[in-house]
Amino acid sequence: MIKRILSRSYLGVLLIMLYAPILIIIIFSFTESKVLGNWTGFSFKLYTSIFKSGVHHSLSNALWNTLIIGLISAFASMILGTMAAIGIYNLRPRARKTVQLLNTIPILNPDIITAISLFLLFISLGFSQGYTTVILAHITFCTPYVVLSVLPRLRRMNENLYEAALDLGATPFYALRKIMLPELKPGMISGFILAFTLSIDDFVVTLFTIGNQGLETLSTYIYADARKGGLTPELRPLSAIIFITVLVLLLFINQRSVKKKR
Amino acid sequence: MQKPEPIITIEHVSHSFGDKIVLDDINLVVRKGEFVTILGPSGCGKTTLLRLIAGFQKASEGKFTLGGTDVTETPPHHRPVNTVFQKYALFPHLNVYQNIAFGLNLKKLPSADIKRKVMHVLKMVTMTDYEERDVGSLSGGQQQRVAIARAIVNEPQVLLLDEPLAALDLKMRKDMQMEIRAMHKKLGITFVYVTHDQEEALTLSDTIVVMSEGKIQQIGTPTEIYNEPANAFVADFIGESNIMNGVMIKDSLVEFADHQFECVDKGFGQNEPVDVVLRPEDIYIFELSEAAQFTGTVTSCIFKGVHYEMMVITPEGYEFLIQDYHNFEVGRTVSLLVKPNDIHVMKKERLINTFEGVVIDKTQVRFLGHTFKLDEKISVANGSKVKVAVDFNKIILQDNEEDGMIRGDVRFILYKGDHYHLTVVTKDQEHIFVDTNDVWDDGDRIGITIPPESIQIINQ
């Protein structure tokens, strides 16, 4: 009995620790105060001012940059990762093991190493840093995750499916599009979502590849903002929006997988 | 009767994965409308051969023609064949109708034609009313019917079936065998069927191709294969049999189990060693009487439903497997008789192990990747090539791999009535044949020792 109460309360404390900061930010996004923790009455003003051009133009700019970079790099790494996974799956066992190992190294590699090496690569190739380099960098570190989420789908798939399609007269490309892709789609979608979230919250790699042409993503903007002294109050409603969006997405995905199982 | 024209010809086809040779110089002609079964134990290369016909893999060497045209380089989607896979390989995201219509849609047929054809094959495989069903919700047997329907709806010239019934239970398998046989009759197209189940092969086929270790062992009708096996492997693999070492005394007289028997085989040399095959149902067993050719004692008797299966040992120490409708209890002495017609005499494939060797010096020779000591000094120049011969029964096998001079795996075991004839494969894929009284299992990893006194050098 005591054991059960203890384990329940442990779980409770854990959940409070995890969600309290987010809850506080959401609560204080509905007040105008400059400093977090000062309640100066309920207001939607911060929410409206994010989307108003003018003072906080650079914040909404950073938000759009983040989303665009996230979407493009997630989409590109989904395509690349799926192709790589199909390739890896069809290798001979020994070569497959080697390539799979090579695929996990970038995942385990500290961000800072990836960041510096990409930074040096872009400089030595003479790329001017900006949008392109950030997207290329994000594709680089997102692709291995897509490979990891597509490979299990391939292993679970009947090994003869692709051949069966060819056998019935499909060209290799048609078989890939009509038979392989529908089978791999769940893995590709979860790979896409994973890549997207990784891209949005990346800071280290972005900082090293973003250049100094004034391009900002959310993470670099917040970092710079914090160094200038004090966070912009508009970050509170922004965090609230992002959190709610992610929550809705998560519920949606869970709902879908529950339906599938039935 | 004139034979129908060939539809598939396979000429000198060899295939290897890396160093491993899977198919070794295969030649085969399949005639139009024939039901051909490729039969063999797992790993004999039968599935690879089927995949080469379908075009999923390209043969390392050799030529394929289908319906008169060379298809060696043709990709699978341009070949006029369709395949039924062992694990069905139905498209999980499509329903029964869409699965079957997949090939027809690719041919851009009008949808009314497609519908008519799909409904027709569904009726043929007795799956009417299932067209809207999700393939995941079907039983194994139903999925296999859909897989067959999906293939035959395209009206291929040849239908390839890769162990299509292996995943079904016994009862379902028997029913499906009959249905496949009936379907072949009705459609009139050529079937190439791969299986490891000899009974299935005998039931279904017009022609059986027996394969082992990447080679064709025998091609023939089911009765030919059963009654006139070409070698000990085929005799052992198809049905049950007693295989004995024998000697052909002269035409129509053979000696085995220390007795002489009249037989119908001719054309062997005098006193030529042969293999003798006796089917268990061809040995007559009865009470002691004058009519006996030889006698034996029953050592075991098992009721098998239709018949009894008995082991009988002769006073000379040879064991026979016998099937009879009558039951003789264990310990009884019985008379045995074999009719001349039922004795199948086969040429021995080999009488002794021979290996390619190189002389190291006067007392050592290297073969099978190992340097062996010799008993007697030889007078052949160092480095010269020689043939090395070792008797089957002079090779010593050891449980412990490390104890042997070389290592190998037991691959094929043949019981010869009073001893076992084993095929041992070394890691360099060399075959060593061993006669032994010890019991080994297929796949055992063993050490092999060849004592110096049993190595004979044949100068070239």
Decide: helix, strand or coil at residue A217. Answer: coil
Q: Does residue B163 carry a pLDDT above 80? A: yes
Percent of chain B with pLDDT over 70: 99
Q: Confirm or reject CATH 3.40.50.300 for domain B6-235, answering yes or no.
A: yes
Report pLDDT for B34. Answer: 94
**Residue B117 contacts A, CB cutoff 8 Å:** no
- Which residue among B76, B81, B93 sits closest to A183, beta carbon to beta carbon? B93
Most confident by average pLDDT, A51-60, A194-203, B28-37, B361-370: B28-37
- Which residue among B83, B91, B107 sits closest to A161, beta carbon to beta carbon? B91
Record: contact B89-A161, CB cut-off 8 A: yes
Record: contact B77-A179, CB cut-off 8 A: no
Report pLDDT for A177. Answer: 93
Span between the terminal Cα atoms of chain A, in Å: 36
Q: What is the 3-state secondary structure (H, E, C) of chain B?
A: CCCCCEEEEEEEEEEEECCEEEEEEEEEEEECCCEEEEECCCCCCHHHHHHHHHCCCCCCEEEEEECCEECCCCCHHHCCEEEECCCCCCCCCCEHHHHHHHHHHHCCCCHHHHHHHHHHHHHHCCCCCCCCCEHHHCCHHHHHHHHHHHHHCCCCCEEEEECCCCCCCHHHHHHHHHHHHHHHHHHCCEEEEEECCHHHHHHHCCEEEEEECCEEEEEECHHHHHHCCCCHHHHHHCCCCEEEEEEEEECCEEEECCEEEECCCCCCCCCEEEEEEECHHHEEEECCCCCCCEEEEEEEEEECCCCEEEEEECCCCCEEEEEECCCCCCCCEEEEEECHHHCEEEECCCCCEEEEEEEEECCEEEECCEEEECCCCCCCCCCCEEEEEECHHHCEEECCHHHCCEEEEEEEEEECCCCEEEEEEECCCCEEEEEECCCCCCCCEEEEECCHHHEEEECC
ipTM: 0.78
pLDDT band at B150 (very low <50, low <70, confident <90, very high): very high
What's the average model confidence in pLDDT over B374-388?
A: 84
Query: Which residues touch A74 (CB under 8 Å, ≥6 apart)?
Result: A142, A192, A193, A195, A196, A199
Q: Does residue B168 carry a pLDDT above 80? A: yes
Describe the strand order of the beta sheet including B242-250 as a list of residue ranges: B259-262, B253-256, B242-250, B272-278, B344-347
Decide: helix, strand or coil at residue A31. Answer: strand
Homologous superfamily (CATH) of A59-231 is MetI-like (1.10.3720.10)
Half-sphere exposure (CA, 13 Å, Cβ side) for A79?
A: 7
Report pLDDT for B189. Answer: 92
Report pLDDT for A261. Answer: 55
CATH class given for the domain over B240-347: mainly beta
Q: Does residue B32 carry a pLDDT above 90? A: yes
- Which residue among B89, B150, B154 sits closest to A158, beta carbon to beta carbon? B89
Decide: B94 and B150 in contact? Cβ < 8 Å.
Answer: no
Q: Which residues of A touch B150 (CB under 8 A)?
A: 168
- Residue B308's DSSP bridge partners are B303, B324
Q: Which residues in chain A come in under a pLDDT of 50?
A: none
Distance of residue A251 Cα from the nearest chain B Cα, in angstroms: 24
User: Domain segments of chain B: what residues?
Assistant: 6-235, 240-347, 353-458
Which structure tokens are listed for B243?
Answer: 């295989």
What is the C-alpha separation between A101 and A98, in angstroms, rounded?
Answer: 5
User: Domain segments of chain A: what residues?
Assistant: 59-231, 235-262
Distance of residue B106 Cα from the nearest chain A Cα, in angstroms: 7
Query: Which residues touch A5 (CB under 8 Å, ≥6 apart)?
Result: none
Report pLDDT for A55. Answer: 54
Describe the strand order of the beta sheet including B20-31 as a list of residue ranges: B20-31, B6-17, B61-66, B69-70
pLDDT digits (tens, 9 = 90+) for A13-72: 999 999 999 999 899 888 888 777 788 888 888 888 777 755 556 778 888 899 999 999
Q: Give the angle B148-B168-B101 at the CA atoms, nearest 5°.
A: 20
Which structure tokens are listed for B213?
Answer: 């270790």
Report pLDDT for A259. Answer: 66
Instruction: Considering only CA atoms, give the Rg of chain B.
Output: 26
What's the average model confidence in pLDDT over B436-446?
A: 88
pTM: predicted TM-score of the whole model, two decimal places: 0.79
pLDDT digits (tens, 9 = 90+) for A168-182: 999 999 999 999 999
> Does this chain's domain B6-235 share its CATH topology with B353-458?
no
Q: Across chain B, what does the average pLDDT equal? A: 90
CATH number of B353-458: 2.40.50.140
**Residue A167 contacts B, CB cutoff 8 Å:** yes
Report pLDDT for B333. Answer: 93
